[in-house]
Amino acid sequence: MSRYVINALAVQDLNEIADYFAENNVEAGDRFFRTFNRKCQQLVAFPNSGKSYATIRPGLRGLSLEGYVIFYRLLDNGIEILRVVSGRRDFPTLFGEFN
């Protein structure tokens, strides 16, 4: 059975995104998280549909979501969500801890 797991750093990212929406636009936040769920289900079904970021970290993939990027890696039985960050971030620096 294919599934997705969200690691601790991605949970922290999602909590920060939720806090932002809670302060600014709850309805937009609800839409964001519904879309996030759909995108994760899509990635489980089609794990190679995201863009490769292998130049930053081997096996790293990402999929855009409303100005953010869902970074993930393939697992034997699904995917692991590694980070969910603004598309404006410096990705090599963000993943420097893994190099």
Confidence of residue 87 (pLDDT cuts 50, 70, 90): confident
Q: Is 67 left (phi over 0), alpha (psi -120 to 50) or beta?
A: left
Question: H/E element holding 9?
Answer: helix 8-24
Length of the chain measured in residues: 99
**Measured between alpha carbons, how far is residue 52 from residues 2, 57, 62, 63, 76 in Å?**
20, 9, 7, 9, 18
Please give the Cα distance from 45 to 39 (Å, whole number). 10
On the question of pLDDT at 99 being above 70, the answer is no
Interval 34-65: pLDDT, tens: 999 999 999 999 999 999 999 999 999 999 99
